[in-house]
Chain A
Amino acid sequence: MVERMIRLNFRSKLIMLSALSLTFMAPSVLGYSTVYDVVGWPLPDLAGIKPNIELGDDPVYGRQICPPLTRLNLDEKKSEDLLFKSVRQEVNGGQTSWIYELRTGLYWWRGEPLTSKEVANFIRNELATVVAVRSGNVWSVKDFEVSATGAQTVKVQFQGTPAFGPYIFNGVPFFRQIDSSAQDSGIRFECVGLYQPQLAPWGLALRPTARYKSHRSMPELDLYPASPNPASKHQHSMVVRVAGNVTSNPATRPPDANVSCSHMIDLPNLLMIVWDKRSPVASRVEFRRAVTQLMPRSALASAGAASLAEAAASPVPRNHPGYDSRLAFQGFDLRAASLALNKLGFRRPSAREPRLNELGEPLRLVLLTQNKTPGLAEKVILDSFSAVGISVEVKSELADGERVDGMLANFAVDWPRVSYMPYFHSGATAHWPVHPVVDKNIDRDLEKYASSITYAKPDWSLLGAVQRHLVELEPATVILQQKACIDNTVGFKLAKGSISQRNPDWFRQLLF
């Protein structure tokens, strides 16, 4: 590409592309007659003394190994009782009680039957943590008692009324801690799932839990990460591709998903720039609104993520029942962005010169990125800023006390809740390198919605209100939502439309 004779003081930053390819299988060593391989779905971290709080909502292994007590089902648009038969709340004389009735026929991985005392212990030990995590420490819980009031009944009693409801455990993996020597898997907790995980050199094997009646007819599941690349010997396999952080190795880059993928599923991962309220420039809402028009979202989705992503502008993923589709989508429009910046007083003396701030100095931003090597996203975004005369420096690490104007992040949305309370509430204590812009109206809506999803019938319109405020205030400029391609599927009961992010049981329905 030729340069114009007129000298441009442009410094292009590099680009790198993203995408992660996954394949491959290895022979089972566990002896079950039917083995299904799942390759490329991100493996869970089972090393801790308890499962990660996200585990219970994972459709591929979470529900199978550590089902939650209750969960949010977006297909049904309600909270569901999984390990419970019923859940109810009673308010009497200033006291609030939750009464949980446990299902029968539930067993720990090693075969012991589940008791109501164990459920009571779990609630007693975990409630405070769950409340803190789900609310970003905005809520807390005290003055409560938990008791097993019958063989199948557990009662939780509060002095007063908590800010949340009895479905606060939606999606939280239910477990008990065990002595690791008691189990040869090396895993230090135990759940009541139909499958028991076994750490394997090549990934993770899920064995049917022996005590359940159906275990003989259930296949074993072997889960493999994207690499290395062992050859499969199994007849049943499912290969998952997700957009990731691929550099220049062609062997690991997937083909364009639009032409190569038969089944796509949306992932609750958003690429976004989270702005820092301490930035003299990014703290201005008009600036953030102007900048959203600098995002070439569609180009990034196709080029940067091999179409394993979709242009997005709302922090609420499009397939969530709380997504408000009436919100306008700001397209890529350099001219409009430029005019908006002019209006803000960030003028550009000429097309060849940098845009200036109020002090007459060149306008410059510093962005933090998670990528050690700047990728295509960084390059394309930098080019867009440069096109309107703003120079951007990208850093992958910060020195102590160093500030940036924003952070380019692959943000894992708390799916299926999509609660931003731990991040954008003024009282939240999320440890981000940036301090997001906050607002009292957003605080109020975040709390209302977060509370709503801890009851049987969430009010999705409350999430719509959160979305409206977040889009208006734009504390984060959302760019893309990632997708996964599920293909090379052999042996699974897979039909078009059978995989849906809203359906928490889609994977299970492929098996049985």
Chain B
Amino acid sequence: MIVLKSDAEIVAMRAAGRLSADLLDYIEDFVKPGVTTLELDELAHAYTLKHGGIPAPLNYKGFPKSICTSVNEVVCHGIPNAKQKLKDGDIINIDVTSIVDGFFGDTSRMFYVGKNVSPIARKLSECAQISLLRGIAAVRDGARTGDIGATIQTYAESQGFSVVREFVGHGIGRTFHEDPQILHYGQKGKGTRLGPGMVFTIEPMINQGHWKTKVLRDGWTAVTIDGSLSAQWEHTIAIKSDGEVVILTESEREIAARPKI
């Protein structure tokens, strides 16, 4: 069941989205060679609490930390830990969700660690970001979820990459995961019809190699099946009653650095 939101609720959701976006701006400055993913988690946790939010991932279905940190071949749900030090040349996705006044705001970005990130890793990350922005551009009142997926898949594959199938975007609101599911691949004109009041995430995971993934024994960490790199960007999107499409989780810093799509 899709839970439609009023314009007032969408405005309220912006507070959660804003905090998540600000958190990523904040954490970016700490993403450097030598830092552990646990330290990033602790920083994010403290920042979220300090600014009136609650880290939604913490203990969600048993997830043990407040953010997901997915490095290099990790597709999603990487668990921060003290042993994992970031190295010059790594790429990392940091996925955060804050709860403010009962609403969830879900977003993630890629960050480069140090100055020696390979050209292919940079291209992959940019592809994931542009895929996201193109997917968002496909959102409008009356469109279908398949339009989003097809747009993303067409672009990502045109760049020589693949789109992960096992993990998808989702509706969001007063609960973390709601209907509809947003596939990042598919056919135009197929899927659920989009309309006013819908709020959902788009979060394409783009792999350098095969799209298949596997989940490690910790039950959470998903990695590429072939050990190739993976990248992901994510935003929470809303369609207001007048059909306007708004991104709830974008900061000024991110807007200023948007690539051309």
Partner-B contacts on A (CB < 8 A): 1-5, 7-8, 10-17, 248-250, 253, 255-256, 296, 299, 303, 306, 334, 376, 379-380, 383-384, 386-387
Contact = CB atoms under 8 A, between A and B. Distances in A.
A2 B59 contact: no
A8 B59 contact: no
A380 B58 contact: yes
Contacts of B95: 1-2
B22 interface: no
B73 to A, nearest CB: 16
B58 A303 contact: yes
Main secondary structure of the interface of A (DSSP, over half): loop
Interface of B: 45-46, 49-64, 66, 68, 76-77, 95, 97, 99-102, 106, 165-170, 174-177, 181, 183, 201, 203, 205, 232, 234
Listed residue (B55, B61, B64, B234) with the most chain A CB atoms within 10 angstroms of its CB: B61
Contact of B77 (A2, A12, A250, A386): A2
Contacts of B234: 2
Given A2-B76, A387-B62, A250 B50 contact: yes
B52 A253 contact: yes
A384 B106 CA distance: 21
Given A14-B102, A383-B60, A1 B97 contact: yes
Contacts, number: 98
A425 to B, nearest CB: 35
Contacts of B49: 17, 253, 303, 306
Given A15-B54, A250-B52, A253-B49, A5 B61 contact: no
A1 B46 contact: no
A2 B62 contact: no
20 contacts: A1-B60, A1-B68, A1-B76, A1-B77, A1-B176, A2-B76, A4-B166, A5-B181, A7-B181, A12-B60, A12-B175, A14-B102, A248-B54, A248-B100, A248-B101, A256-B46, A296-B59, A303-B45, A383-B60, A387-B62
Given A1-B97, A2-B76, A4-B166, A248 B52 contact: yes
Given A248-B101, A256-B46, 5 more contacts: A2-B205, A5-B168, A299-B58, A376-B54, A379-B59
A16 B59 CA distance: 13
Given A250-B51, A380-B59, A5 B170 contact: no
Contacts of A11: 175
Interface centre among B45, B54, B59, B174, by most A CB within 10 Å? B59
B55 A3 contact: no
B166 A383 contact: no
A253 B168 CA distance: 35
A15 B48 CA distance: 13
A205 B46 CA distance: 36
Contacts of A253: 49-50, 52
